[in-house]
Structure 1
Amino acid sequence: MFGQRLRLARKRAGFSLRALAERMDPKVTAQAISKYEAGRMMPSSAVLAGLGEALDVSLDFLMSDRIDVLDGLVFRKDSGTSARDRARAEAVLIDNLERYLTIEEVLGIPPAGDRFGDCRCDCIATEAEIDERADRLREAWDLGMDPVPSLCALLEEKGIKVVEADLPERISGLACRAMRQGRVVADAVVVSTRTTVERKRFTLAHELAHKIIRSTGNPGITLERAMDRFAGAFLVPGRDLLEKVGARRRRVTYYEIARLKHAYGVSAAAMLVRLGQVGVLSASAVRRAFATFARGWLTTEPEPMCDEQGFAAFERPQRFRRLVWRAVGEELISPVRGAALLGESLEVVEWQVSGPPVTHLIKE
């Protein structure tokens, strides 16, 4: 386990074996580091501390055994994503998940069971099947046809660990199952703090799709395209959209698209694509829109959602912080440990525990 963590930390830092050896104090050879990674040798405590410092990771990260492997790891990424970016994202995920599992252990919370059994399928062959799967999941979760107020809250309620983290620029999200001793200890979805709320919601729905649909039986539908289709159908149910805008339209105005994107909490581009998918607009009308007035929508979001308003006010993970504060409040962990888990200063945590000093509350 230590060897796997060391290799991941080295890739995250972008170091070769030789480059890491050159940065080490005390000095060790590249061959020795290779043996550490292969599990053929363990470093001394002094070398272990040096590895943590050279790689800018904690000893807890290098030595923890809470997670053996990330199974089914899938990235939502640009084509130019490097191996270093993927390693960095994986390390961020492991660090966050291990802190999450730590606080659940403190509170005696058992792992969540499988919430997707009846809705999961091994293979889909048509786009209509994808929409049907999205509708079936909404029905199973009693969501009706209304817009989902918070994807983060919904997924956390269903037992998925949702993490918002500073991911590399070319990666907007990832999903996986964290394994320990051959069993699943956490289903996880990670989204980047760099993305807009519109893209964050779509990314969460896309990563949810990976937990429902495992493959496509149609060479004309790639798995990532299927995930995007599911995300659109889950966020914007076809029947509800048809009731709002009508079954067949020659065109849909900018005004209507702007109102619809704010109603469902998706990007204008995703809304335009969805209008084509459900048959409101023809495929040629959608292509024409992206070639003209919607040309820049993939890079610049029109009518963006404002921070702390509408969907943006609720679309952030809450459960981990709630659990940490519960443990601090019940004195199951110290404020020092709480600060470490939250990644905040002890001063801030102590202020939140006791409130502002009394002198601040006395009027002169």
Structure 2
Amino acid sequence: MQYFGERLKAARKIKGWSLQDLANQTANSITKQALSKYEADVMHPSRKILLLLSAALGVKPGYFEGQPAFRLPDFEFPRKGNVPSKQIDSIKEKVKGVLERYLQAESLLNMPVRFSNPLKTFPVADETAAAAIAVRLLDKWDLGKGPIHNITGMLEEKSIRVIEVDAPVTFDALGAWIDKVPLIVLHQDRLADIKRYYALYELGQLLLTVPETADKDRICQTFATAMLLPGDTLESLLGAKRTAIAPGELICIKEQYGLPMQVIMRHAIFKDIIDRKETAPFFRMIAENKDETGLGCYTGQEKTGRFDRMVRRLMAEEVIPAQKAEALTGIPEEALKRQLEVFAGVS
């Protein structure tokens, strides 16, 4: 098992455990010192130890035999509050695990992904330029200026890998380049409007050329919002100038265009539709309800699909057996077989 130590360390970090935590999970049948040596590949486990580790970590023994498909490069972790280092490591290892399977499916289908940044020659120095470049990208990708349904699916169609992971509440999203292809990672349990916004925010972080002296965070916020509310869309919905905006108006826009109310209000300030001081009561209300619970809900679906389609194609074309498909997707073998049998005999 050439990669045992690396795989053991990854499985432990996904759990967010220290070496001592893992030792405790084995009822100290394996010591912290022994685990350290296993991870360093100084020692190799017996079959009995392997089974103990598999049970403690919730993985199959074969997991430890797999060769990592790639090494994830370092990336900046987007902080929201104080995220413990164990949680950071856990998210990174989850991303690596999902991408490992994703890249295996691409390789088996001989479907390499190539991406060309359509915005790389356009410097974006401020928020006004960010709003303009969003419209340029919408035109370049033929997306029009109406509501965009399923942002994550659209990004996949544009050769951007999008995956979702289970993560702490402090995590929203992150972006990275993997082999010259953009990767966007989203929190699987976020509401659809939040996923849409953060997917486009991370897209901005990856694609926009921003001077070091500029506020890249604000620029990417405006870019993401302008992708969802391009051009004069917000003026047409709210009017050119307002002294007050009712929450009900923002809820209607949220439900139709799929972005949070607070993001819409910030964009109204940016576009000089309303003065910042007039929005103070709204933001006081939102400060007590940042998830906007009870304040409307975007009903559209945000769903990634490329990976699942690749795996089902591999099964349909008999490139891999159902057992391998289960290992890739985590979906029980029988359930995968039933999905394919739906079409059996159809001519």
TM over 0.5: yes
TM-score range, shorter chain: 0.7 to 0.9
Q: How does 1:109-120 map to 2 (within 5 A)?
A: 109-110=111-112, 112-116=113-117, 118-120=118-120
Alpha-carbon shift at residue 265 of structure 1 (Å) = 0.8
Cα-to-partner distance string for 1:41-81 (whole Å, 9 max, x where unaligned): 35245355544443334556545444433225344453132
Secondary structure of 1:43's aligned partner: coil
Letter in 2 for 1:270: V
Alignment-derived partner of residue 238 in structure 2: 245
Of the candidates 278, 290, 298, which is equivalent to residue 271 of structure 2? 278
Alignment-derived partner of residue 43 in structure 1: 44
Alpha-carbon shift at residue 337 of structure 1 (Å) = 2.2
Establish whether residue 263 from structure 1 lines up as the match of residue 265 from structure 2. no
Quote the sequence identity (%).
27
Q: Hey, what's the Cα distance between the residues in 2 that align with 1:174 and 1:63?
A: 29
Alignment-derived partner of residue 143 in structure 2: 143
Alpha-carbon shift at residue 88 of structure 1 (Å) = 1.9
Q: Hey, what's the Cα distance between the residues in 1 that align with 2:36 and 2:274?
A: 58
Of the candidates 283, 298, 302, which is equivalent to residue 290 of structure 2? 298
Alignment-derived partner of residue 349 in structure 1: 336
Mark the CA change 1:299 to 1:8 in structure 2 (over 3 Å): closer, same or farther: same
Alignment-derived partner of residue 194 in structure 1: 189
Alignment-derived partner of residue 211 in structure 1: 206
Q: Hey, what's the Cα distance between the residues in 2 that align with 1:253 and 1:37?
A: 58
Contact 1:124–1:213 under 8 Å retained in 2: yes
Mark the CA change 1:356 to 1:146 in structure 2 (over 3 Å): closer, same or farther: closer
Q: Hey, what's the Cα distance between the residues in 2 that align with 1:43 and 1:24?
A: 17
Mark the CA change 1:100 to 1:45 in structure 2 (over 3 Å): closer, same or farther: farther
Alpha-carbon shift at residue 161 of structure 1 (Å) = 1.8
Secondary structure of 1:174's aligned partner: strand
Mark the CA change 1:164 to 1:14 in structure 2 (over 3 Å): closer, same or farther: closer
Q: TM-score when scaled to structure 2?
A: 0.84
Secondary structure of 1:195's aligned partner: coil
Alpha-carbon shift at residue 190 of structure 1 (Å) = 2.0
Contact 1:268–1:302 under 8 Å retained in 2: no
Q: Which segments of 5 or more consecutive residues in structure 2 lack a partner in the other structure?
A: none
Of the candidates 302, 314, 317, which is equivalent to residue 330 of structure 1? 317
Q: Which segments of 5 or more consecutive residues in structure 1 lack a partner in the other structure?
A: 179-183, 359-364
Alignment-derived partner of residue 159 in structure 1: 159
Contact 1:70–1:176 under 8 Å retained in 2: no
Alignment-derived partner of residue 86 in structure 2: 84
Aligned length: 342
Cα-to-partner distance string for 1:138-192 (whole Å, 9 max, x where unaligned): 23212232221111111101112222232223212222233xxxxx175322222
Secondary structure of 1:11's aligned partner: helix
Cα-to-partner distance string for 1:176-232 (whole Å, 9 max, x where unaligned): 233xxxxx175322222221111111121122122113655336x2x4343323211
Contact 2:254–2:296 under 8 Å retained in 1: no
Mark the CA change 1:58 to 1:286 in structure 2 (over 3 Å): closer, same or farther: farther
* Cα RMSD (Å): 3.1
Mark the CA change 1:121 to 1:19 in structure 2 (over 3 Å): closer, same or farther: farther
Q: How does 1:14-53 map to 2 (within 5 A)?
A: 14-21=16-23, 23=25, 30-38=32-40, 41=42, 43-44=44-45, 46=47, 47-53=49-55
Higher-strand-fraction structure: 1
Alignment-derived partner of residue 12 in structure 2: 10
For structure 1, which segment, 262-271 or 48-57, has the greater mean C-alpha deviation from structure 2 after superposition? 48-57
